[in-house]
A = this chain, B = another copy of it.
């Protein structure tokens, strides 16, 4: 019998539990033993491990967060950390490690694979959708829906007061979340870290909207675009409009995963287990053209995922 390890790493994302469930439920019938390392790489370094059985993962498909816990672990990135992790995996006789996490976690995954020779497979789970080589990640669809539901509430107040609302969504470096939230919430303006945009042109759009008898406007801004508080102040000064800022914050991270996040989690995870059964190749699972595919760890760590600027254009066209 072969053994696989599972770890959830980085920020939690809704659907991580559905992924853990799918790994365990597809692995065990194939005679793989599954060990769960708790609290991300931090737990891996401390050999904080427990076996995962078929019933351990029962009744969790709909739960947000991760039953394995997660933690940021700066020590892991060090040479010493990687070495310690290799030892722990080997002492537990782990043949392959599945890392459920985001961009940062896959950096560690590559180093660990290179240092230990152990097969390491990444499953992209992050609300930021910033993993290259995949169209979507576990948790992204949930976060988008959480954000637009929040904006639907804010819309009531925006309409009632005839106000402009600026809504800051997560995304320190990338604007995937802001873009999809902005498009589906019907925002007048979407501001992303990837594209510099002049505040004057934002003001013009808002003034033009007002002239077209739009009684309220919504601006969606990724946290990485700049300082939202200053942004709001500047727009208010330049337009004379009453503007309110809402920072959605951590509510975007939690909650029961949507159907799509659960589905993606199930597809990615069963694919990862199959991969382990049929080869010792390391890599990261992804979705391309609607199909589950496999990218190398090197590719995922090196390449840059472009933002869909056509979608951004569409969003602006639709907010006319």
Contact = CB atoms under 8 A, between A and B. Distances in A.
Contacts of A59: 155, 159
Interface in A241-282: 244-251, 253-256, 258-260, 262-263, 266-267, 270
Contact of A259 (B22, B39, B141): B141
A250 B186 contact: no
B251 A153 contact: yes
Contacts of A212: 54-55
Given A55-B213, A70-B160, A184-B259, A155 B247 contact: no
> A interface, how many residues as a size bin?
35 or more
Given A54-B320, A61-B184, A318-B22, A71 B156 contact: no
Given A156-B14, A157-B253, A244-B250, A145 B66 contact: no
Given A259-B141, A320-B29, A156 B64 contact: yes
A243 to B, nearest CB: 12
A58 interface: yes
Given A180-B263, A270-B318, 12 more contacts: A11-B157, A12-B157, A12-B161, A28-B320, A62-B152, A63-B156, A65-B159, A146-B153, A180-B259, A244-B250, A258-B258, A266-B314
